[in-house]
A = this chain, B = another copy of it.
């Protein structure tokens, strides 16, 4: 749905800020508690304190376009942040949002967006406690900041040589739709946080190939079994159309929002067994962390460098 309207009566800018905030409050529904625990004061007063804090943004024609339902865009804004909390093994608590929008943003689009955001918050027990509205000359985007709590946060950078590498779900092809309706892996992250043998966890957002180096501790490389990558249906379809291999799609496509994690090898069998008997999203062993030898950080099972595939670059350089 196109987010702007030529009919002044249908535009957000026509309402005036106070009325608009009332509408937003209504559209958020029960996801926003009464002031001072929600919107309405200079800052929100939180009823529970978290030890995790993360922020992520969405921009029109970059993270969503006219083909997206506004409800899905609102969902995605929160879900991206939920995925970050999931990767720490945490439980989300409170969110604040900052909107950037031109005066001709349509009320219909904004209502859908806000309802989608509120519904996602309800589904995951998040309270929307405040926000900010900024008028622009045409730019449409939003930032959401989320806090959460984790007793033992799962961190990056503690992977050791010999640790096995796993991912949840299937990879690649997210652009076909999953980027708007993925399920943040909160349950899976919390389960992983219960295992001391899980040495690291992150969510895959820029593509496995781009995210992996940042996941490894210094001096480590990843040996990846390309044949073991869990390939999404969407990646297969795209591969059929664009001629890029399914492995390249799985390895490089952005916005998977799956978890990448590492496990001490002696615990791998137990973890795999317990996982299979749970209702959690399936996991796949995709490789192993090894001592780095030279400058190569990513290699295949035979120790050869992986093809020169790129992940997503936020500022356009690759």
Contact = CB atoms under 8 A, between A and B. Distances in A.
Nearest to A203: B42
Given A136-B59, A314-B134, A314-B135, A44 B54 contact: yes
Contacts of A42: 54, 84-85, 87-88, 156, 202-203
A245 interface: no
Contacts of A265: none
B41 A147 contact: no
A80 to B, nearest CB: 10
Interface string A291-310: 00000000000000000000
**Majority-rule SS of A interface residues:** mixed
Contact of A43 (B88, B157, B315): B88
A94 B53 CA distance: 9
A57 B130 CA distance: 13
Interface residues of A, number: 69
A67 interface: no
A315 B147 CA distance: 28
A223 interface: no
Contacts of A150: 45
Most B-side CB within 10 Å, residue of A20, A46, A132, A139: A132
A43 B49 contact: no
The 6 A-B residue pairs whose C-beta atoms are closest, nearest first, are A49-B49, A43-B54, A145-B145, A139-B139, A143-B143, A98-B143
